[in-house]
Amino acid sequence: MKLYGPGLVVVADGAHARAFEERVRGGPLVEITAQLGELGSKGAKHSSHTGRVHDRFGSASHTTGGDSPRVKAEEAFSRRLAVRSVDLMATGSYENLVLIAAPRALGDLRAALGPGGPGRTLESEAADRVKERPPALREALRRLRSKPDH
């Protein structure tokens, strides 16, 4: 496995994603977000309200339990993003994958990718950088890679 070949950098939160190609490790990032395709759900928009059940008599109130619709939508988004990322890894002949995502989204992406990831080098950072410009992302990658465990 070549550690210095072209890489795919995916930056996400629970509802938005951007993809970049890093042709040379440490080189410029070229945005290829359009290659991810449509990642939004086709269903109705969900609120973040979890719902409550009120007792008919008295003042007690109980939540309905389970994850909120927003959390479920974020998990589904991360699953779709993971599938598209693996597809891009295969079709683009990328040597490594870097995930930069908000903490919950990063956990969802890792879970969707499975224990071995896409079978290539996987670096990650738990940070919400989806709105950052390529130079700032490149600097974040440099810092990530300079950590002692890399």
The answer for residues whose C-beta is within 8 angstroms of residue 122's C-beta and 6 or more apart is: 96, 97, 98, 99, 113
The whole-number pLDDT of residue 99 equals 95
Helix, strand, coil: what percent of the chain each, to 5? 35, 20, 45
The whole-number pLDDT of residue 44 equals 36
For residues 73 and 69, give the distance between their C-alpha atoms in angstroms, rounded to a whole number: 6
The whole-number pLDDT of residue 48 equals 43
Amino acid at 86: V
Confidence of residue 143 (pLDDT cuts 50, 70, 90): very high
pLDDT tens figures, 14-60:
899 999 999 988 899 999 999 998 887 654 343 444 455 555 555 55
91: its two tokens: 């079709």
pLDDT tens figures, 76-135:
999 999 999 999 988 888 889 999 999 999 999 999 988 767 767 788 999 999 999 999
The whole-number pLDDT of residue 139 equals 95
The whole-number pLDDT of residue 90 equals 86
The whole-number pLDDT of residue 45 equals 42
